[in-house]
């Protein structure tokens, strides 16, 4: 019985839409588990896991914990995702065969969608409606500048396929990686570009804020990792994060594992029918899962190419920041927005860092939050449209 179960599990393959995210050795996907693979004997499953794979995951967990703690101590943006991602890259470059199970990867996408639905404030609607021409200009101008720079990098063939277009998006780094994966782009290269941009933007915004006499590093509050949980909202949130990917699979909706929980969560939250409950430890697991999923798929040829492309990608990021600074100057002159508020509002991404800096100053925080949030939502709607119309289907040259 155990031999037959092990043989069936070993022959299991994920659907083509999820290719590239299965665990080495044929661990069943999320949807295979739902169809009955969970009835297999647990000892048979454990017996087919090589001891080397266990050691690899122990190394990944240890490296992720060290890097995540270090980046958190240094106030690096997205530290809890970057740490696991870099740990995955390092272990993969050393020859690791570990991969993230499909079930964990899909549920992590759903949880991240719920997280974004939770942090989008309803109050931004009034702020946007009261000054809608300013918001239309600010949001579309920044997106147009970034798209132009992405098109330029594509013409220069800095990175293959549409990865450079997804990677140059001015915000929503995690969402862009998830969407790029769903639309066939190389998520590894997208992550390389996005988190380089996040790091440079956060560092630049901190420097600008310090020139105004601020100290943003003291604005972040201490996190309670294991708070009390309201179990009914928590279970409802988990149901949304789990059933959303399943519905997306049934309806063949690309990026639906992320977008369905986001859209449904926004709707139910604003109607007062759902309170999204996401304890910090669950977000840590979700960020780590996404980081591992990206990092463990890096290969040595890909790392070599990313290193060669680094100077041009960095130059493009600096150019994007400078051009957004010019747009901030336009807001100062035309809309009578104070300079620091305008700069933070048009800053191309790193929304968490930007909001922390804004909260520690005397700027118009609702304006900054509304502009950043509106651009984030606009990117998630417009980015797939742009990719379909201005780029050919991507083909990664890297295994």
* pLDDT tens per residue across span 217-256: 444 456 777 888 889 999 999 999 999 888 887 887 766 7
Do 107 and 87 sit in the same domain of this protein? no
Q: Is the pLDDT of residue 204 over 70?
A: yes
Q: Is the pLDDT of residue 134 over 70?
A: yes
Number of domains in the chain: 2
Q: Which residue has the higher pLDDT, 303 or 365?
A: 303
Do 242 and 311 sit in the same domain of this protein? yes
Q: Is the pLDDT of residue 26 over 70?
A: no
Collapse the DSSP code of 125 into the 3-class scheme (helix H, G, I; strand E, B; otherwise coil) and give the result. helix
Q: What letter does residue 17 receive in the DSSP assignment?
A: G
Residue 61 lies in a domain: yes
- Pick the last residue of a domain from 93, 118, 136: 93
Average pLDDT over residues 164-168: 81
Do 241 and 386 sit in the same domain of this protein? yes
Q: Which residue has the higher pLDDT, 224 or 344?
A: 344
Do 87 and 136 sit in the same domain of this protein? no
Average pLDDT over the chain reads: 75
Residue 153 lies in a domain: yes
Q: Is the pLDDT of residue 381 over 70?
A: yes
pLDDT digits (tens, 9 = 90+) for 346-365: 888 766 567 656 655 677 77
Residue 395 lies in a domain: no
Q: Is the pLDDT of residue 33 over 50?
A: no
- Pick the last residue of a domain from 65, 93, 121: 93
Give the highest mean pLDDT range of 166-170, 184-188, 275-279.
275-279
Q: What's the pLDDT score for residue 236?
A: 92
Do 23 and 124 sit in the same domain of this protein? no
Do 144 and 281 sit in the same domain of this protein? yes
Pair of tokens at residue 57: 């995951």
Q: What letter does residue 77 receive in the DSSP assignment?
A: T
Q: Where are the beta strands (DSSP E) in 194-348?
A: none
Do 16 and 86 sit in the same domain of this protein? yes
pLDDT digits (tens, 9 = 90+) for 90-128: 888 888 788 888 788 888 888 888 887 887 666 667 777
Q: Is the pLDDT of residue 38 over 70?
A: no
Q: Is the pLDDT of residue 2 over 50?
A: no
| Percent over 70 (pLDDT), the chain | 73
Measure Cα distances from 64 to 16, 59, 87, 192 in Å: 29, 8, 5, 17
Do 209 and 162 sit in the same domain of this protein? yes
Specify whether the CB–CB gap between 93 and 300 falls below 8 A: yes
Q: What's the pLDDT score for residue 66?
A: 92
Q: What's the pLDDT score for residue 235?
A: 94
Instruction: State how far the Cα of 68 lies from the Cα of 304, in Å rounded to an integer.
Output: 24
Measure Cα distances from 319 to 43, 307, 311 in Å: 56, 19, 12
Do 138 and 89 sit in the same domain of this protein? no
Q: Which residue has the higher pLDDT, 24 or 275?
A: 275
- Pick the last residue of a domain from 59, 93, 127: 93
Please list, in sequence order, all residues whose beta carbon lies within 8 angstroms of the beta carbon of residue 238, skipping any fewer than 6 positions away. none
Residue entry with tokens 């990686």: 177
CA angle 106, 110, 116 (to 5 degrees): 145
Q: Which residue has the higher pLDDT, 61 or 16?
A: 61
| Percent over 90 (pLDDT), the chain | 6
Q: What's the pLDDT score for residue 239?
A: 93
Q: How confident is the model at residue 258 (pLDDT cuts 50, 70, 90)?
A: confident
A 10 A CB-CB count for 149 gives 21
Q: What's the pLDDT score for residue 14?
A: 39
Average pLDDT over residues 55-65: 90
Specify whether the CB–CB gap between 241 and 250 falls below 8 A: no
Do 130 and 21 sit in the same domain of this protein? no
Q: How confident is the model at residue 337 (pLDDT cuts 50, 70, 90)?
A: confident
The residue among 17, 19, 200 whose CA lies nearest residue 99 is 19
Do 89 and 107 sit in the same domain of this protein? no
Instruction: State how far the Cα of 132 lies from the Cα of 337, in Å rounded to an integer.
Output: 14
Instruction: State how far the Cα of 294 lies from the Cα of 186, in Å rounded to an integer.
Output: 9
Q: What's the pLDDT score for residue 126?
A: 74
Average pLDDT over residues 320-343: 88
Q: Which residue has the higher pLDDT, 180 or 59?
A: 59
Instruction: Classify the C-alpha dihedral 113-284-123-330 as positive or negative.
Output: negative
Collapse the DSSP code of 309 into the 3-class scheme (helix H, G, I; strand E, B; otherwise coil) and give the result. helix
Surface-to-core class of residue 75, CB atoms within 10 Å of its CB (0-12 exposed, 13-18 middle, 19+ buried): middle
319: domain range?
103-390
Residue 285 lies in a domain: yes
Q: What's the pLDDT score for residue 394?
A: 44
Do 110 and 129 sit in the same domain of this protein? yes
Which phi-psi region, left, alpha or beta, contains residue 123 (left: φ > 0; alpha: ψ -120 to 50)? Answer: alpha
């Amino acid at each position: 019985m155990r031999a037959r179960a092990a043989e069936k599990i070993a022959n299991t393959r994920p659907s083509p839409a999820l290719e590239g995210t299965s665990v080495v050795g044929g661990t069943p996907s999320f949807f295979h588990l739902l169809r009955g693979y969970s009835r297999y004997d647990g000892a048979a499953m454990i017996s087919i896991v090589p001891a080397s794979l266990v050691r690899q995951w122990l190394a990944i967990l240890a490296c992720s914990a060290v890097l995540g703690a270090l980046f958190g101590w240094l106030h690096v943006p997205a530290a809890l995702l970057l740490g696991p991602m870099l740990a995955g890259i390092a272990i993969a470059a050393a020859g690791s065969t570990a991969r993230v199970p499909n079930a964990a990867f899909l549920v992590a996408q759903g949880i991240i969608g719920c997280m974004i639905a939770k942090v989008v404030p309803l109050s931004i609607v009034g702020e946007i409606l009261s000054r809608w021409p300013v918001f239309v200009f600010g949001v579309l101008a920044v997106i147009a500048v970034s798209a132009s720079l992405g098109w330029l990098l594509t013409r220069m063939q800095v990175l293959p396929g549409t990865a450079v277009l997804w990677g140059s998006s001015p915000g929503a780094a995690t969402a862009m990686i998830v969407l790029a994966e769903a639309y066939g782009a190389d998520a590894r290269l997208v992550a390389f570009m996005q988190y380089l941009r996040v790091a440079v933007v956060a560092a630049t915004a901190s420097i600008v804020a310090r020139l105004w006499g601020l100290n943003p590093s003291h604005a972040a509050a201490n996190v309670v990792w294991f708070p009390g949980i309201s179990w009914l909202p928590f279970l409802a949130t988990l149901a949304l994060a789990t059933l959303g990917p399943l519905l997306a699979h049934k309806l063949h909706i690309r990026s639906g594992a992320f977008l369905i929980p986001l859209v449904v969560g926004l709707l139910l939250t604003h109607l007062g029918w759902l309170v999204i409950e996401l304890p910090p430890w669950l977000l840590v697991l979700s960020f780590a899962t996404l980081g591992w999923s990206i990092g463990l798929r890096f290969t040595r040829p890909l790392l070599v190419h990313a290193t060669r492309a680094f100077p041009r990608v960095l130059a493009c990021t600096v150019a994007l920041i400078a051009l957004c600074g010019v747009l901030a100057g336009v807001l100062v002159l035309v809309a009578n927005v104070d300079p620091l508020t305008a700069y933070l509002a048009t800053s191309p991404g790193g929304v968490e860092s930007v909001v922390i800096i804004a909260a520690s100053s005397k700027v118009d925080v609702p304006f900054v939050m509304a502009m950043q949030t509106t651009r984030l939502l606009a990117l998630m709607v417009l980015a797939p449209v742009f990719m379909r119309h201005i780029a050919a289907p991507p083909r990664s040259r890297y295994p």
